[in-house]
Structure 1
Amino acid sequence: MHQLTYGDIKTAADRIAGRVRPVSLAPMEPGVARDSRDDRPERSCDVWLALEFMQHTGSFKARGAQNFLQAHRDAATLPDAGVTIASGGNAGLACAWAAQQQGVPATVFLPATAPEVKAARLREYGAEVRLVGSEYAEALAACDEFAATTGALASHAYDHPLIAAGAGTLLEEIRRQVPGLDTVVVAVGGGGLFAGVATAARHHGIRTVAVEPENCRALNTAIEAGRPVDVPVASVAADSLGARRASAMALYAAQQDGVRSVLVPDSEIVRARQRLWDQRRIAVEHAAAAALAALTSGLGSSHQGLGYRPGDGEKVAVVLCGANTDPTDLVSRPAGL
């Protein structure tokens, strides 16, 4: 297993400079991160939203995909057959976009049951879409066979050091804009974003809070077991955070100093997503809202692993990682409420 290092992050940052959009940050007003149900004494903290959903293809995944392909380009190992991946989600979109940027073919495998809108978006980025089987596992098997027979470069949604290192460049940009940053809060699925961000954060003495839905907790379970294990997946955020197993790379990062694993219930994820819409007219994925939900979850709960409460004077950045969502379930409310 490749143990991600800060050097990997720095190399990735140099490699993708000018090829991705620098993250924008927006301060939250005092008390906005505080929930009205919390009757504990208010603590003074600075909370910033890292608006990574404004990245190319609508999520942080563009960073890792660009780093992955550019690294192979630099090493002259990017084949004429291009790149292939099995993913109809953010990773597939990012892979297709990065391939288009690099001028190489992208072949994306999806189950035949995938929504047509996903296939259409992939084709907009120039990808060839192949529909195979009725489940993701069948599409993945076809993708692996395609890579083996054509020589196409096989990419992965999260479990690759170049993918994780690219994601970790996000932390470098955040800390430059928030001097004295204490904590970064990030949602976790398979662990690519978390591994990269936590590795960079540890180098700078910054705490990482890894947030997962209560019933979608691959990393939290791996920490308890001491090894990656398969977990059941059942969450409103499962479309982005529904990895059945965290990567060994993510577990290693989680076992280092300065990392805290917390859980949030689906009800709080839904509330946080709605609040972002009500207060900022920001429509994000449930995965992105999960990170913000960590600041208001577990109110009055004795569960030590539920939610995260910043301390007095703490400077916190919350990563809003993606916005590839259907906004029709966001309830419009009168202005000012």
Structure 2
Amino acid sequence: MQSLSHAEVKAAVERVADVIRPVTVARAEPGTADAPDRPDLFLALEFLQHTGSFKARGATNFLRAHAEAGTLPPAGVTIASGGNAGLACAWAARRQGVRATVFLPETAPRVKVERLRGYGAEVRLAGAEYAEALAACEEFAAHSGALASHAYDHPLIAAGAGTLLEELRERVPGLGTVVVSVGGGGLFAGVAAAAREHGIRVVAVEPENCRALDAALVAGAPVDVTVDSVAADSLGARRVSAAALAAARHPDVRTLLVPDTAIVAARRALWQSHRLAVEHAAATALAALAPAPAGSGSGEPGYRPEPGEKVCVVLCGANTDPGDLVD
């Protein structure tokens, strides 16, 4: 499969423009725990998006494209999700006036299940991880006639996510690098498609034990991996999309792995320095730049920007229980 095209992202910009909240960007304060000696580090507060994550972009693009084509069935839409994609699908479906049936792993955080029901979705719990929920969702779609959406592996979903990069260019003139967390690769594939068009580098960051993209690069094709990370509720895809793999092969893309200890430390640093309560998935991106925690064997960040390089870290979601962050 070829990489997603910039034309697909531009089409998504037109579809979602009147619905999606424009991203807020904040400059990270130099000398704080999350930005030591990096005056050109910016934080994209995409967790302020509708439903608490970037996923609202792709869900809106997906459903509006099908509405335009007249392909929304009476049975509505169905999706399997670790939580955030389901929230976005349910929210977008309610706006579109169609039913949503969302399949979640039985391990999904309660906060996400409750919010889904608040959006009017029918919630079905299936299996211990995303792949099992996906299988149940596919069976349901086949029998019910519902339109099957996907948490990340669909060009309309990825293109919708890529609209974020178009906004970041406007808010950070001279942006050189954008850092994103990777699970199944929808956000990364979309952002990378737009970034290529504008000569912006992308750093794709995965937890060490949720490394679907890294494994695909090693194998030369998407392969199944085990998932075992503090960020697995959002980044726990067993297999990365082909579009994400194609994007990762571009010379202006760098891929990195970070340990759970660094993810936890980055999430706490965001709370301590800015009072931002984000998911571990969002902190995964920042962990690529922050010094490794004590006892990890290294004080060096995974990605070291050049002097004067403007870097924007995408904080992709905040559907989390902040109870463990209270001082």
Alpha carbons 1:45, 1:316 under 8 Å: kept: no
- Give the structure 1 partner of residue 145 of structure 2: 151
Alpha carbons 1:109, 1:130 under 8 Å: kept: yes
Alpha carbons 1:265, 1:297 under 8 Å: kept: no
Q: Say if 2:31 is the partner of 1:31.
A: yes
For 1:278 and 1:34, the matched residues in 2 are separated by: 9
- Give the structure 2 partner of residue 230 of structure 1: 224
Percent identity, please: 71
Q: Given the superposition, is the C-alpha separation of residues 130 and 4 from structure 1 closer, same or farther in structure 2, using an over 3 Å criterion? A: same
Matching residue's letter, 2:309:
E
Alpha carbons 1:264, 1:306 under 8 Å: kept: no
- Give the structure 2 partner of residue 327 of structure 1: 322
Report the secondary structure of 2:277's partner residue: coil
How big is the shift at 1:283?
0.3
- Give the structure 2 partner of residue 251 of structure 1: 245
Q: How does 1:204-243 map to 2 (within 5 A)?
A: 204-243=198-237
Q: Deviations over 1:49-102 (max 9, x none)?
A: 000000011000010000000000011111121101122510111110000010
- Give the structure 2 partner of residue 77 of structure 1: 71
Gaps of 5+ in 2: none
How big is the shift at 1:149?
2.3
Report the secondary structure of 2:18's partner residue: coil
Matching residue's letter, 1:71:
A
Q: Deviations over 1:135-158 (max 9, x none)?
A: 655543332222122221001100
For 1:232 and 1:208, the matched residues in 2 are separated by: 25
How big is the shift at 1:115?
5.5
Matching residue's letter, 1:273:
R
Alpha carbons 2:78, 2:141 under 8 Å: kept: yes
- Give the structure 2 partner of residue 309 of structure 1: 304
Alpha carbons 2:262, 2:292 under 8 Å: kept: no
Alpha carbons 1:9, 1:168 under 8 Å: kept: yes
How big is the shift at 1:224?
2.1
For 1:111 and 1:224, the matched residues in 2 are separated by: 28
For 1:88 and 1:291, the matched residues in 2 are separated by: 18
- Give the structure 2 partner of residue 118 of structure 1: 112
- Give the structure 2 partner of residue 292 of structure 1: 286
Report the secondary structure of 1:243's partner residue: coil
Q: Say if 2:60 is the partner of 1:66.
A: yes
Q: Deviations over 1:179-233 (max 9, x none)?
A: 1100000000010000000111111000000011122211112112221112222
For 1:104 and 1:25, the matched residues in 2 are separated by: 33
Q: Given the superposition, is the C-alpha separation of residues 123 and 262 from structure 1 closer, same or farther in structure 2, using an over 3 Å criterion? A: same
- Give the structure 2 partner of residue 140 of structure 1: 134
For 1:74 and 1:287, the matched residues in 2 are separated by: 33
- Give the structure 2 partner of residue 39 of structure 1: none
Alpha carbons 2:28, 2:39 under 8 Å: kept: no
Q: Say if 2:265 is the partner of 1:264.
A: no
2:154 aligned to 160, 165, 177, which one?
A: 160
Report the secondary structure of 2:254's partner residue: strand
Q: Which moved more, 1:216-225 or 1:275-284?
A: 216-225
Matching residue's letter, 2:215:
T
Matching residue's letter, 2:201:
R
Matching residue's letter, 1:316:
V
How big is the shift at 1:110?
3.3
State the superposition RMSD in angstroms. 2.3
Q: Say if 2:84 is the partner of 1:90.
A: yes
Report the secondary structure of 2:57's partner residue: helix
1:186 aligned to 168, 173, 180, which one?
A: 180
Q: Given the superposition, is the C-alpha separation of residues 248 and 72 from structure 1 closer, same or farther in structure 2, using an over 3 Å criterion? A: same
For 1:135 and 1:177, the matched residues in 2 are separated by: 37
How big is the shift at 1:321?
0.2
Q: Deviations over 1:245-282 (max 9, x none)?
A: 11111000000120000111111111111111111111
Mark the structure with the bigger radius of gyration.
1
Q: Given the superposition, is the C-alpha separation of residues 114 and 321 from structure 1 closer, same or farther in structure 2, using an over 3 Å criterion? A: closer
Q: How does 1:47-66 map to 2 (within 5 A)?
A: 47-66=41-60
How big is the shift at 1:238?
1.1
Gaps of 5+ in 1: 37-41, 333-337
Alpha carbons 1:45, 1:314 under 8 Å: kept: no
Alpha carbons 1:263, 1:306 under 8 Å: kept: no
For 1:136 and 1:322, the matched residues in 2 are separated by: 18
Alpha carbons 1:220, 1:261 under 8 Å: kept: yes
Matching residue's letter, 1:323:
A
Q: Given the superposition, is the C-alpha separation of residues 30 and 190 from structure 1 closer, same or farther in structure 2, using an over 3 Å criterion? A: same
Q: Say if 2:168 is the partner of 1:174.
A: yes
